[in-house]
Structure 1
Amino acid sequence: MSAHFADDELALLREHGIVLFAERVIFDARPPMTVEQIAAVQELCAGPLPPELVALWQRTAGGRIDYDLHLRINGYEEAVSWAELFWKGSGADHDLQDWIEHEQQNAREAAAARDQQWDGKLTALPFGGFESSDRIYAVVERGADYGHILAWKQGLPEAWAHAMHEDGLTTIAHDLPAAFAMLHLDEDPLEPAGDYFTGQALLEYLDERHQTHGLALELVDKLVAFYRRAVVDWRTPLAAGTLASDGALSRIALRHAVATDDKALVERLAANGVPLDGPLQGSALATDLALAHGAHHAAEALARAGAPVSPDALDAIDSAVSPELVALLLERGARPSATAIAECVACGAPAAARVIADAYRKQHEDLPTAFETVRQDMLADLESSLAEVRTGKRSHYLGAEGLAERVDHLQSFSL
């Protein structure tokens, strides 16, 4: 139980599908699992269910959670989506029984590949995650890792720049309460840095419970205040000059600077010794992330502060960039390429494209041919997307107008 809420408040929150566990909020919560249901899961496991997982299921069979979780997996800085606690009978991608059967099938196939007979017992139990891309497991066999909470993340196709391209597995924490403690909020959900933010799902759920089901606004506000206790504080150690000693907090602060395109904050972080190298999201460096998000002020500040610039940094341009920034990035190690030229052209930055073209000519003799090849491929892709958007077959972040604009830019440009 929580010391922050009276018993009657906890009971009322429970009526509205809200449960507190290990100082974190679970919403859209299911009723508790029965003794028989827990025993049925126990029968499938190689060892005893961790008592903390049993305690969770005695509170709720499953539900939704809305926090950030960043883990180092395969050398990548990965955002793990632990948005769901699986429950039996959900009939969706968060059905506990379906995921158990999935693991059983994998175990059978793995044993068969080794010409062995599987004993029918799971050593790791899936109990949360997000759809098919992220899963959370509890180790349920006796040994040094018993009770550990693991995160598995699916690799993405090679076409996804800076994404992890192979499946990965890592330990979140030594037990379930410690794993819940790893769940945090990078940003204050009441002061979000963007249009889509962690906490949005919970706030919308609470608003619906208040507007439609009569959950008292005073209790909503109290719960939101409790939830916001998970907001990480990197500003205090920054002011104290100690932020650089905490790698996880430093990365959160740097991501915030990029998300808000805050040049002054980047300069302040650099002056305080915050590391500007290493992966910040996936394998993307800070400068990669800034360019991909159109945070050009932050990108300039990063480059001037000595942050590493990837050789292919200019290939990820997705908004109109200044020729001055392009020149700076080329000076800091970015490689001129036909793709970078075409990206700048498409985004409506012809002056920047010409700066890259001039640098390319100094190293290569095939500029007209190389650029034309890339331009035609890019035009074909944009025109195909535009046709599908106009006929309603798909949506696109640029919309029909943005896609048409990029097509026009590419068609009208000449070296």
Structure 2
Amino acid sequence: MELSPAEHQLLQAHHLALFEGCVIFDTQPPIDAQALARVEAHLAGPVPAGLLQLWQTCFGGRVGYDLEVVYDGHRHPFSFSELFYPDSDGYRDLWGWIEHELDQAEEAAREQGRPWSGKLDYLPFAGFEYLERLYVCVTPGPDHGTVIAWSRGLPPAWAGSLHQDSLARIADDVGGLFRLLAYEEDPFDPQAEYSSASELLEALDELEGAGEVGVALKARLEVLLRQRLLDWRPALTDGNLAHQPRLRQLAMLDAAEQGDIPRLQTLRDAGCDLTETLRGRGASLESCLQHGHLEAASWLLDQGVPVQADTLLVGAAQITPALAARLLGMGALSEPGAVLSAVAQDHMASAEVMARPLLEASPASASALREALLERAEQQRRDAKRIKAGKLFSNRSAVDYLAEAERIDTLRQRLFT
């Protein structure tokens, strides 16, 4: 996209920048020679060309696009919103991350009993808070410049999510990373509940204050954003959807999240595989369950869609007793967290169906269930006291917490007496 001198000036004045067809907002000034030398003093090799080009465009800023990273078959929505820069506040501080990585590298070398150069092989340059980070390889050689994604695993209670810290190579260079950025849903859709582009669009709105030239530049930048929309609908109409993996997955994910049985059938007839992984390690069935579309989930089971070990856990908070029993009979596993999820939503019959296999499996699993029920009930009562004392704020009342504790006690007495 060619910009006039006036448009370049307007971008800078509004802390906006363009890189590989993406709009970056809340930008910092480009890197200078002194800062580059300070960074490279900590590295095993020079800053790769792709990252240097980014930093010469803006040395820090914010990003508002979607990025998916596949970790060993787990399809993970990666939160890439921050470009690190020196002396930033909070989690965006480049010096802070470099110091963190130096400490980690030194400790790893010491534990492995090997010498350490005191230099980084991988430089963190972007991510989201402490949960997601992007690194570029700075070691001279064939991997120099490649981009590595890292995500922190979430606790097991987050069914279907990434549960262990994970790494994956995602691009040959920083430019390739930015070319992966896209929109899974229309960022201009006023009905959308959430969009990764929300703050970016607010930043573009500020251009309107610059008069006609600002309005025109905003319109041009919005065209760039629309070009990143992954729209599966034309491919479905043209009959080519099944041959375009990313669009195919998004089409099936949208249908499953809506519980749209006719569309799921249309997609199957168009050559899409209803068992394909869409989010995490889950397919259409797990997505339907996660969003409470039990009729669609039952339809998928009728079509012969297989059940995974954690399928039940994904929908435990809203599943019916009959569907819970059906999933258990098809190979799904239960665990105390699934039982507690059902109790939290007052689905007591479903909770009992999911609890029975744990009682029958072994004394150890029965004991683990009993301890989990006791611990959660006590925690609910403690939280109720803290709410009453004004020490805990929640969208639930103290009465709600106490009611859940009572339901847990009722279930525990029923199961263990």
Question: C-alpha distance in 1, partners of 2:395/2:257?
Answer: 17
Question: C-alpha distance in 2, partners of 1:304/1:292?
Answer: 18
1:27 match:
25
**Displacement, 1:118?**
2.0
Structure 1: give runs of 5+ residues left out of the alignment.
none
Is 2:188 the counterpart of 1:190?
Answer: yes
Distance 1:119 1:395, change over 3 A: same
Pick one of 78, 99, 102 that aligns with 2:100.
102
1:84 match:
82
Superposed CA offset, 1:223-253 (max 9, x none): 2332122111222222233323333333222
2:154 match:
156
Q: Helix, strand or coil for the counterpart of 2:265?
A: helix
Structure 2: give runs of 5+ residues left out of the alignment.
none
1:269 match:
267
1:230 match:
228
Superposed CA offset, 1:277-329 (max 9, x none): 35433334432333233233443343333332234433444654455654654
Is 2:52 the counterpart of 1:54?
Answer: yes
Question: C-alpha distance in 2, partners of 1:73/1:203?
Answer: 30
2:44 is matched by which residue type in structure 1?
Answer: A
2:171 match:
173
Q: Helix, strand or coil for the counterpart of 1:93?
A: helix
2:140 match:
142
2:186 is matched by which residue type in structure 1?
Answer: D
Q: Helix, strand or coil for the counterpart of 2:262?
A: helix
Question: C-alpha distance in 2, partners of 1:159/1:340?
Answer: 8
**Displacement, 1:162?**
3.1
Is 2:32 the counterpart of 1:8?
Answer: no
Superposed CA offset, 1:74-115 (max 9, x none): 332222221111000103211111111112222222222343
CA contact (8 A) 2:208 2:214 kept: no
> Which stretch shows the higher mean deviation, 197-206 or 56-65?
197-206
Pick one of 87, 103, 121 that aligns with 1:123.
121
Distance 1:115 1:327, change over 3 A: closer
> Which stretch shows the higher mean deviation, 108-117 or 182-191?
108-117
CA contact (8 A) 2:69 2:76 kept: yes
CA contact (8 A) 1:123 1:141 kept: yes
Pick one of 243, 246, 266 that aligns with 1:245.
243
Question: C-alpha distance in 1, partners of 2:283/2:220?
Answer: 38
> Which stretch shows the higher mean deviation, 386-395 or 249-258?
386-395
Distance 1:289 1:409, change over 3 A: farther
Q: Helix, strand or coil for the counterpart of 1:77?
A: strand
Question: C-alpha distance in 2, partners of 1:176/1:358?
Answer: 49
Q: Helix, strand or coil for the counterpart of 1:26?
A: strand
2:345 match:
347
2:42 is matched by which residue type in structure 1?
Answer: L
Question: C-alpha distance in 2, partners of 1:40/1:341?
Answer: 54
**Displacement, 1:63?**
0.5
1:43 match:
41
> Which stretch shows the higher mean deviation, 313-322 or 165-174?
313-322
CA contact (8 A) 1:140 1:147 kept: yes
> Which stretch shows the higher mean deviation, 100-109 or 170-179?
100-109
Q: Helix, strand or coil for the counterpart of 2:285?
A: helix
**What is the identity percentage for the equivalent residue pairs of Structure 1 and Structure 2?**
33
Aligned-residue Cα RMSD (Å) equals 3.7
CA contact (8 A) 1:276 1:286 kept: yes
Q: Helix, strand or coil for the counterpart of 1:127?
A: strand
**Displacement, 1:145?**
0.8
Task: Return the TM-score normalized by structure 1.
Answer: 0.83
> Which stretch shows the higher mean deviation, 196-205 or 94-103?
196-205
Superposed CA offset, 1:30-84 (max 9, x none): 1111122123222332222222211111111101101111111133222222111
CA contact (8 A) 1:303 1:328 kept: no
**Displacement, 1:156?**
2.8
Q: Helix, strand or coil for the counterpart of 1:106?
A: helix
Distance 1:168 1:358, change over 3 A: closer
> Which stretch shows the higher mean deviation, 71-80 or 327-336?
327-336
Pick one of 132, 152, 156 that aligns with 2:130.
132
CA contact (8 A) 1:19 1:60 kept: yes
CA contact (8 A) 1:234 1:249 kept: yes
CA contact (8 A) 2:84 2:93 kept: yes
> Which stretch shows the higher mean deviation, 232-241 or 370-379?
370-379
Distance 1:276 1:405, change over 3 A: farther
Question: C-alpha distance in 1, partners of 2:179/2:209?
Answer: 32
Q: Helix, strand or coil for the counterpart of 2:24?
A: strand
Q: Helix, strand or coil for the counterpart of 2:107?
A: helix
Superposed CA offset, 1:143-180 (max 9, x none): 11111111111223344433333322111111111111
Distance 1:105 1:306, change over 3 A: same
Question: C-alpha distance in 1, partners of 2:118/2:143?
Answer: 20
Q: Helix, strand or coil for the counterpart of 2:53?
A: helix
1:201 match:
199
